[in-house]
């Protein structure tokens, strides 16, 4: 314990002498908050909704010039952290940058195939976006580039519109269009400070969605892994399995399988080592590159490509060509691009923000979600103009980045430079890389997305969340990525709406030897007060639930009276509604209270309210319900109400 | 006060001897509710959501035969109330039935025109549906038939698809199709017990929508009222006004205006009389019929129709022809019919359920919303097969029905018989009825839908509700009925979601000379506890707000610490989160608490929880967070927590 309690001059305010409670035997009157003017009220709500993190806090009381500098630093955080950058930090960033580069190059080539694009587009997307992010982003640990789930999502959505093989050029144009609008969506959400919207994708839904996507992606890799030439375009497990077993007799290529399986075992073993000892994190990080080098060399000397082993064949040399003119800004594909871009952009955001938050919490620094979205948006807009497709933060590479000791976003710059060198000089060397290796690398990468421990925890904590999680999972696995997403979002919303439609109402009882009234289900030892029924309403009373709450309260009363009658006991005379959890009430809610009051009067029961909050008491007065009910029927606590309704009982216990 | 408190043997339970509180100086332990098994939990939730009114209550402990009778009575309440029907009741029903019949006949003819249908279809819809409702409905006061708003909505939606003049037959077929699916929608909602869904149309939105629709309908009447021949098909105020003033010079017909205006004054005066004295309620009720008779007679003898006064001309004689075969059950119009039917059906439901609830509350009887929906659905399905369009409960006629002293739904049967006789024998007499009269009748009827007093009350109580109300109003007036509806629904949902996204968090202080901790904004005299920050979270903690709540709490702490630093006072050592209003928490919420705990540890502040509810404490244990935080950091009340955190303060005051 540190020093406290010795002085508290400002905390303990003198009691207002105008208060009605100079006589302590009177119950304490429920406070009515000072009337706010309309504008204050409105602007407070607005501020809490859109500027809850008070982003302009540091701009206050500063000179114009200083404000300008702060503004530039806010948009480009590199000018903030860059000023304290030193050799020690650079060492960390260099090592981690090199590590994630070695991991991202083989992954990029594979992910581009998931998006039905040529391999170099994956590498392009690991060159420009990370550079832009390094200047604008505020996360220190995120590793930017193409990721498996977004690549799959984009590939699925795009091929529904255009055939990626027949119309490769149009397909690519639509991909850039979608990337452009993904960026616009992300930046717009950030600028309009609507970042909170992505919170509507619940954690549980994301866990299920990611696991489902991981399985779908792994299944897609069976094509490369088994060397199958004719493969379904659908992503659901049934179609894929039919495709796989339908070609079992003459479609599988055993040389491919041997290469793929050998290196998959190697990769998984490397992963296992990395998990065992945190110091050996670099083993799984460089294993993919080693696999690529070894297998490429092996194919090159044995000429296995003549025995049916499929190889990459050709990767365009040179850095990103400009693609501004390829973006559709009119015509029928514009709208499709917008739609696909919005979906892919939001999923990409979800992933990046989740990563950003996770690592920020681990290193205890703050991330401004909205600013982060602007950075991601800007990076994708820039990407769409330089032949990149949607990039975002990668779970696996960010973790490696963190473990390799990155200090700032500069590790992304290092990675970007390595990718640049690769594009300029090394791509021809990938010619003999077998596709099976890329499949093995992707399989071993996406396995990490299946977070079964999280799913178990979700099951333990919240069954409804688990349904959302499984809904998303099975939706992705058995139908498609979009359907899984739709299920996840719908279940999440249904849960929120259910809460405001069917809130809990509970009976309270007095806890022995205290003056505290609590839920009798939670505290079975709590005792009911004779002649009084105390009901707590556990939600704001809104149009969506006002009618239900009214009827539920009346039903509690009926049930209770039936029980009492059966036991030959006396009637209920007071119905106390404990309103502590009722944070707000609207017109429908007030009407419901009025109707409740009227029904109770007909039954000869007096309605009593306990502890209405500031908003509620204000509205009770505005609607004149407070005076209709009687001001003396509104109490500060249930205990005060009992003192008046059942004074004998209050003294007795 | 009645007899109470003398005995309460079963209420006051003996204290559980296993409780840890035999030593009263120890704080009372937070109760963990008994573990429910999964199925119980699931079925309880299901029951509360869909069967909250316990509809099978009366079926329990009954013989099979009795259950069958109860079942029939449940579907056809007429067999329940019919058994106690007597002459006194019949007298009331006869008078009220005749009154609403005299009111409905002229209204029906006018409303049919709003739906772009020939006048007899309005009368048809006042014949079959009320009959069906009388057998199945549970409201005693509702008057069934076509209503203005639904007629307008249906007319607008239908004419977007088919031209009602050129393709009258197809138009009618689509109208019956929509009616059929409106009935299916209503019955399905009732059978699946999804009736609560209509609660999502908030009271405020309905007030605005109704007022907007009333103005739109009144504006549409200017066509008949001014005798304009060329009139816009749009319903927005701008188009209508342009139409009206564009034809001012040569399109208006002064004879029509004189007739219309004279009778409009008469009708409004009758309304005024009815309002002045409740006994004279029958004056406004029969005024429309009198107007029709007088004006028809006047036109007949003066032959004003030759001077440009438009008349009804022809109403088909005879009762409803069957229309089963005219319903589209395949083809392109099927889907359109389904969509229009769903919208019209839900709006019709909203109106009927609101009326049913209002009058049930006035006479203090119960209405089962879901059963009511089945009745309304069955009535519209039957209607669609007998040339009726969507019928529902009418506000104005139900009020007249109530005031005329109706006792049961039999008044609808009486009305239905009168309409039957009208169709069989009197329709030719309407030949010379001027359209201007129908317009006047509709204008005077829809004026009652503009409930400006409710709008003022909404403004006073809840500004957000007022925005929803005005959004619906202006949407209907300036755009169209559908857009107004869409705006209303969107704003209502946005409000619900805002509540779960940006819940309130408030600072608590101790109220002088009590042991009660309350919001210091509501109770400015409450004093903060030195070294302790008490924050109440005013909502369930879900994925949609968990991150916000965590960050908001940390910001409260930062602000408080800055203030204390500025005042040279001591640091915060304990952060108490009062969880009384936190009715539920999900996985994301638990994660947020964990992150909060970790952040606080880094700042050397101890997290303390007060009064977690049954669900929350259960999940805190399931997730192991309770033991991670320390069981001794979870208290029953804030006062208990303060006793431990700041014992000196607790004693002092």
Q: Count structural domains, chain B.
A: 2
Find out whether B356 and B393 touch, Cβ atoms under 8 Å: yes
Flag whether pLDDT at A628 surpasses 70.
yes
Q: Which residues of A touch B203 (CB under 8 A)?
A: 543, 586-588, 591
- Nearest to B26, CA basis, from B488, B640, B633: B640
Mutation target to probe the A interface, by most A beta carbons within 10 A, among B6, B586, B620, B648 is B586
Among A577-581, B32-36, B245-249, the minimum mean pLDDT is found in: B32-36
pLDDT at A39: 79
What mean pLDDT is predicted for residues B521-531?
86
Do B138 and B208 lie in a common domain?
yes
Dist CA B548 CA A199 (whole Å): 9
**CB atoms inside a 10 Å sphere around CB B6:** 10
Contacts of A427 (CB under 8 A, 6+ apart): A120, A123, A315, A316, A317
Q: Is B308 left (phi over 0), alpha (psi -120 to 50) or beta?
A: left
Do B426 and B522 lie in a common domain?
no
Q: Report yes or no on whether pTM surpasses 0.90.
A: no
Dist CA A368 CA A52 (whole Å): 11
Which residue intervals of A603-637 are DSSP H helices? 614-622, 625-629
Do B542 and B403 lie in a common domain?
no
Do B491 and B618 lie in a common domain?
no
Q: How far is B88 from chain A (nearest CA, A)?
A: 25
Mutation target to probe the B interface, by most B beta carbons within 10 A, among A581, A611, A637 is A581
Q: pLDDT tens digits for B365-403?
A: 778 888 899 999 999 999 999 999 999 999 889 988 998
Domain boundary among B496, B516, B549: B496
| Residue B210: inside a domain | yes
Q: Does B597 touch chain A (CB under 8 A)?
A: no
pLDDT at A253: 83
Which of A41, A529, A567 is nearest residue B10 as measured by Cβ atoms? Answer: A567
What mean pLDDT is predicted for residues B277-292?
87
pLDDT at A15: 37
DSSP per-residue codes, A82-129 = GGG--HHHHHHHHHHHHHHHHHHHHHHHHHHHHTT--HHHHHHHTTHH
Domain boundary among B451, B478, B496: B496
Band (A183; pLDDT cuts 50, 70, 90)? very high
Among A46-55, A583-592, B5-14, B453-462, the minimum mean pLDDT is found in: B5-14
Flag whether pLDDT at A11 surpasses 70.
no
Contacts of B539 (CB under 8 A, 6+ apart): A540, A583, B499, B500, B503, B504, B545, B549, B581, B582
Q: Which residues of A touch B586 (CB under 8 A)?
A: 202-204, 461-462, 464-465, 495
Do B518 and B455 lie in a common domain?
no
Domain span holding position B471: 87-496
pLDDT at A5: 42
What mean pLDDT is predicted for residues A252-260?
87
pLDDT at B5: 42
Flag whether pLDDT at B293 surpasses 80.
yes
Residue of B nearest to A595 (CA): B361
Dist CA B182 CA B174 (whole Å): 12
Among A93-97, A565-569, B23-27, B305-309, the minimum mean pLDDT is found in: B23-27
How far, rounded to the nearest angstrom, does the alpha carbon of residue B324 sit from its chain's CA centroid? 32
Q: How far is A557 from chain B (nearest CA, A)?
A: 13
Find out whether A548 and B468 touch, Cβ atoms under 8 Å: no
| Residue B6: inside a domain | no
Flag whether pLDDT at B17 surpasses 80.
no
Q: pLDDT tens digits for B74-120?
A: 889 898 888 889 999 999 999 999 999 988 999 999 999 999 999 99
Helices (H) and strands (E) in chain A, counts: 27, 8
| Residue B26: inside a domain | no
What mean pLDDT is predicted for residues B27-55?
73
pLDDT at A324: 92
Flag whether pLDDT at A596 surpasses 60.
yes
Flag whether pLDDT at A108 surpasses 90.
yes
pLDDT at A420: 95
Dist CA B445 CA B447 (whole Å): 6
Flag whether pLDDT at A523 surpasses 90.
no
SS3 A498: helix
What mean pLDDT is predicted for residues B587-612?
90
Q: Does B44 touch chain A (CB under 8 A)?
A: no
Flag whether pLDDT at A293 surpasses 80.
yes
Dist CA B450 CA B510 (whole Å): 47
Q: How far is B363 from chain A (nearest CA, A)?
A: 10
Dist CA A422 CA A120 (whole Å): 10
pLDDT-above-90 percentage for chain A: 36
pLDDT at A128: 95
Band (A20; pLDDT cuts 50, 70, 90)? very low
Q: Is B11 in contact with A498 (Cβ distance < 8 A)?
A: no
Q: How far is A3 from chain B (nearest CA, A)?
A: 7
Dist CA B293 CA B209 (whole Å): 33
Band (A652; pLDDT cuts 50, 70, 90)? low
Contacts of B563 (CB under 8 A, 6+ apart): none
What mean pLDDT is predicted for residues B495-512?
85
pLDDT at B19: 42
| Residue A86: inside a domain | no
pLDDT at A93: 93
Do B239 and B374 lie in a common domain?
yes
Do B648 and B520 lie in a common domain?
yes
Band (B4; pLDDT cuts 50, 70, 90)? very low
Please state, in angstroms and as integers, the Cα–Cα distance from residue A145 to each residue in A220, A419, B201, B535, following that order: 21, 11, 45, 41
Flag whether pLDDT at A629 surpasses 80.
yes
| Residue A506: inside a domain | yes
Dist CA B436 CA B261 (whole Å): 9
Residues 435-474 in B contacting A (C-alpha not used; CB under 8 Å): 454, 457-458, 460-465
Q: Is B598 in contact with A496 (Cβ distance < 8 A)?
A: no
Band (A25; pLDDT cuts 50, 70, 90)? low
Flag whether pLDDT at A54 surpasses 90.
no
Among A41-55, B174-188, B356-370, B575-589, the minimum mean pLDDT is found in: A41-55
Flag whether pLDDT at A19 surpasses 50.
no
What mean pLDDT is predicted for residues A332-341?
93
Flag whether pLDDT at B12 surpasses 60.
no
Q: Does A280 touch chain B (CB under 8 A)?
A: no
Q: Regarding beta strands A574-578 and A606-610, do their DSSP bridges make them parallel or antiparallel, or are they unpaired?
A: parallel
Do B439 and B527 lie in a common domain?
no
Q: pLDDT tens digits for A350-406?
A: 889 888 888 887 787 778 888 899 999 999 999 999 999 999 999 889 988 998 889
Q: Does B51 touch chain A (CB under 8 A)?
A: no
Residues 572-591 in B contacting A (C-alpha not used; CB under 8 Å): 573, 580-581, 583-588, 590-591
Quickly tell me which residue has 């307008």 as its tokens: B152
Band (B650; pLDDT cuts 50, 70, 90)? low
Average model confidence (pLDDT) for chain B?
86
What mean pLDDT is predicted for residues A325-331?
91
CATH number of the domain encompassing residue A547: 3.30.750.24
Residue of A nearest to B555 (CA): A53
Q: Does B571 touch chain A (CB under 8 A)?
A: yes
Q: Which residues of B touch A546 (CB under 8 A)?
A: 199
Do B602 and B464 lie in a common domain?
no
Q: Is A586 in contact with B461 (Cβ distance < 8 A)?
A: yes
Do B301 and B395 lie in a common domain?
yes
pLDDT at B9: 38
Dist CA A362 CA A142 (whole Å): 13
DSSP class of residue A311? B
Contacts of A396 (CB under 8 A, 6+ apart): A103, A445, A448
pLDDT at A26: 57
Do B492 and B514 lie in a common domain?
no
Do B461 and B512 lie in a common domain?
no
Q: Which residues of A touch B595 (CB under 8 A)?
A: 361
What mean pLDDT is predicted for residues A98-127?
92
DSSP class of residue B53? T
What mean pLDDT is predicted for residues B207-231?
88
Band (B144; pLDDT cuts 50, 70, 90)? very high
Domain boundary among B496, B518, B546: B496
| Residue B44: inside a domain | no
* ipTM associated with this complex: 0.81
pLDDT at A650: 65
Q: pLDDT tens digits for B533-576?
A: 999 998 888 888 888 899 899 989 988 888 888 888 778 899 99
pLDDT at B1: 38
Band (B14; pLDDT cuts 50, 70, 90)? very low
Band (A6; pLDDT cuts 50, 70, 90)? very low
3-state DSSP of B173-196: HHHHHHHHHHHHHHHHHHHCCCHH
Find out whether B171 and B116 touch, Cβ atoms under 8 Å: yes
| Residue A342: inside a domain | no
| Residue A458: inside a domain | no
Partners of B532 in the β-ladder: B574
- Nearest to B134, CA basis, from B361, B453, B382, B463: B382
Which of B42, B619, B636 is nearest residue A461 as measured by Cβ atoms? Answer: B619
pLDDT at B390: 96
Band (A18; pLDDT cuts 50, 70, 90)? very low
Average model confidence (pLDDT) for chain A?
86
Q: Is A519 in contact with B613 (Cβ distance < 8 A)?
A: yes
């Amino acid at each position: 314990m540190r020093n406290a309690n010795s002085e508290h001059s400002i905390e303990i305010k003198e009691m207002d002498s105008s208060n009605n409670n100079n006589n302590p035997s009177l119950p304490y009157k429920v406070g009515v908050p000072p009337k706010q003017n309309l504008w204050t009220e409105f602007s407070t709500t607005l501020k809490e909704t859109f500027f809850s993190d008070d982003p302009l806090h540091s701009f206050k009381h500063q000179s114009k010039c200083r404000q300008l500098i702060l503004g530039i630093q806010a948009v480009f955080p590199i000018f903030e952290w860059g000023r304290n950058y030193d050799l020690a930090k650079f060492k960390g960033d260099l090592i981690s940058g090199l590590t994630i580069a070695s991991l991202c190059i083989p992954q990029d080539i594979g992910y581009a195939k998931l998006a039905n694009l040529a391999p170099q587009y994956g590498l392009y997307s690991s060159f420009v976006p990370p550079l832009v992010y390094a200047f604008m982003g505020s996360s220190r640990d995120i590793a930017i580039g193409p990721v498996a789930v977004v690549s799959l999502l984009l590939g699925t959505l795009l091929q529904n519109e255009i055939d990626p093989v027949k119309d490769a050029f149009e397909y690519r144009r639509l991909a850039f269009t979608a990337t452009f609008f993904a960026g616009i969506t992300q930046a717009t959400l950030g600028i309009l400070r609507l970042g909170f919207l992505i919170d509507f994708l619940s954690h549980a839904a994301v866990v299920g969605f990611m696991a489902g996507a991981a399985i779908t992606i792994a299944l897609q890799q069976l094509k490369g892994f088994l060397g199958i030439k004719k493969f379904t375009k659908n992503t659901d497990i049934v179609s894929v399995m039919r495709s796989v077993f339908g070609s079992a007799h003459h479609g599988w290529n055993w040389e491919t399988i041997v290469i793929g399986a050998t290196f998959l075992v190697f990769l998984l073993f490397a992963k296992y080592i990395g998990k065992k000892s945190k110091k050996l994190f670099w083993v799984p990080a460089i294993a993919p590159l080693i696999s690529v080098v070894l297998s490429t060399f092996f194919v090159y000397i044995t000429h296995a490509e003549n025995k049916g082993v499929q190889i990459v064949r050709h990767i365009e040399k040179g850095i990103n060509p400009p693609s501004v003119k390829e973006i559709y800004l009119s015509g029928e594909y514009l709208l499709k691009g917008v739609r696909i871009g919005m979906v892919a952009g939001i999923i990409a955001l979800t992933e990046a923000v989740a990563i950003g938050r996770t690592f920020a919490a681990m290193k205890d620094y703050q991330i401004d979600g909205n600013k982060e979205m602007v950075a991601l948006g800007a990076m994708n807009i820039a990407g769409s103009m330089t032949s990149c497709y949607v990039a975002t933060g990668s779970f696996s590479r960010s973790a490696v980045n963190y473990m390799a000791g990155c200090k700032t976003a500069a590790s992304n710059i290092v990675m970007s430079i390595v990718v640049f060198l690769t594009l300029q000089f090394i791509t021809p060397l990938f010619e003999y890389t077998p596709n099976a290796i890329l499949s093995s690398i992707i399989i071993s990468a996406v396995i990490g997305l299946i977070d079964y421990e999280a799913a178990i925890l979700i099951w333990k904590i919240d069954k409804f969340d688990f349904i959302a999680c499984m809904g998303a999972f099975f939706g992705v696995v058995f139908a498609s990525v979009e359907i899984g997403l739709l299920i996840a979002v719908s279940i999440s919303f249904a849960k929120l709406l259910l809460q405001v439609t069917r809130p809990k109402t509970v009976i309270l009882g007095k806890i022995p030897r205290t003056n505290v009234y609590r839920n009798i289900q939670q505290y079975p030892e709590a005792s009911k007060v004779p002649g009084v029924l105390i009901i707590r309403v556990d939600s704001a009373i809104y149009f969506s639930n006002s009618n239900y709450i009214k009827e539920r309260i009346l039903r509690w009363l009926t049930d209770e009276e039936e029980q009492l009658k059966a036991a030959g006991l006396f009637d209920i005379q007071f119905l106390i509604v404990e309103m502590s959890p009722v944070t707000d009430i609207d017109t429908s809610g007030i009407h419901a209270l009025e109707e409740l009051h009227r029904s109770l009067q007909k039954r000869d029961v007096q309605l009593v309210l306990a502890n209405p909050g500031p908003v509620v008491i204000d509205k009770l007065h505005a609607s004149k319900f407070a005076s209709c009910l009687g001001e003396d029927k509104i109490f500060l606590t249930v205990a005060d109400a009992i003192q008046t309704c059942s004074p004998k009982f209050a003294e007795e216990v």
